[in-house]
Copies of this chain bind each other. A is one copy, B any other.
Amino acid sequence: MQRPDMSVAVAGIKMRNPVMTASGTFGYGAEFADYLDLESIGAMISKGLSLKPKAGNPTPRIVETPGGMLNAIGLQNVGIDAFIEQKLPYLKNVNTPVIVNLYGNTLEEYGEVAARLDGLSGVAGIEVNISCPNVKQGGIVFGTDPGAAQEVVRLVKKNTSKPMIVKLSPNVTDVVLMAKACADAGADALSLINTLTGMAIDLERRRPVLANVTGGLSGPAIKPVALRMVWQVARAVKLPLIGIGGIMNGRDALEFMLAGATAVQVGTASFLDPSAAQRIAGEMEQYLVDHKIDSVSSLIGALEV
């Protein structure tokens, strides 16, 4: 048999396979060059970038929880300019699409970061992280309010000609409502889910483990919630979806595709196994071979309910 066709495209971004690396879990890419072939994966998503460099939160920033981990990195990043100068040149030499994850501390910043990236060669698309508190609106999170999310998406859209993925927060009553709002505002694709807000307590010290008190839960523990949300959104919204949450192996990834995702992102798994993204793409392909499936895209949304 021929090798199965593993390629997919999300909002015009063509990928050799559906496995992308999730923002914040793959550094700026180069960190992993020793552990996997960067040209074996579908796409790389950068650490979340903001207009100015950001220091992030005090420590401790991470803690393990049952089947998962909490992080409160606080979006530490080098800032968009340093990324363009110091990180992008390396990535340009890698034949794999680079997608820049971005966020703003204010609505305007979202627009500015997007504008800064527009027209830059070597950036295949942008992923807008809307899970940030809107300082001006009293800390309400852009990603949990449909109106605020739409404002962000519209503004970014105005400032970019690149494919725009909007990354949804799971900390909402109705993820479909958020998805529709972002679709209406011009998103080209949706990725989900970002982390669930959680907390860990150090009983002996009677304190939160994380300096930031709460953090974002990721890893296998959240996979059922992520699958459910992908499935719900897939039935309600026409946009291509990228499934994220607790994907540890090829089977997990294929489940997300059955639920309706066109591609997937691998996050926490890269911490346990720095070559996880490559391995997972390989496992997916092997599954297709074993089951005599010609093309991975035939599985998208193929769940029978």
Contact = CB atoms under 8 A, between A and B. Distances in A.
Contacts of A255: 201, 203
A221 interface: yes
A254 B203 contact: yes
A146 to B, nearest CB: 10
A303 B189 CA distance: 42
A303 B221 contact: no
The SS class assigned to the A binding surface is mixed
A201 B246 contact: no
Contacts of A93: none
Contacts of A198: 223-225, 227-228
A251 B206 CA distance: 12
A65 B219 CA distance: 12
A206 B66 contact: no
A305 interface: yes
B259 A224 contact: no
Given A66-B220, A173-B144, A228-B198, A258 B302 contact: no
* Most-contacted residue by chain B among A198, A206, A214, A224 (CB, 10 A): A224
Contacts of A174: 144
Instruction: Count the copies.
Output: 2
B206 A302 contact: yes
A258 B305 contact: no
Contacts of A220: 65-67, 221
Interface string A55-79: 0000000000111101000000000
Nearest to A213: B305
Given A214-B228, A224-B199, A227-B201, A207 B67 contact: no
A208 interface: yes
Contact of A196 (B65, B225, B258, B303): B225
Contacts of A206: 258, 302-304
A18 B207 CA distance: 21
A159 to B, nearest CB: 27
Interface in A115-171: 144, 171
A172 interface: yes
A228 B302 contact: no
A258 B203 contact: yes
30 contacts: A66-B220, A66-B223, A66-B246, A67-B67, A67-B68, A144-B173, A171-B173, A172-B173, A173-B173, A196-B196, A197-B225, A198-B224, A198-B228, A199-B224, A200-B227, A201-B227, A201-B255, A201-B258, A203-B251, A203-B254, A203-B258, A206-B302, A206-B303, A206-B304, A208-B305, A213-B305, A214-B228, A215-B224, A217-B224, A221-B222
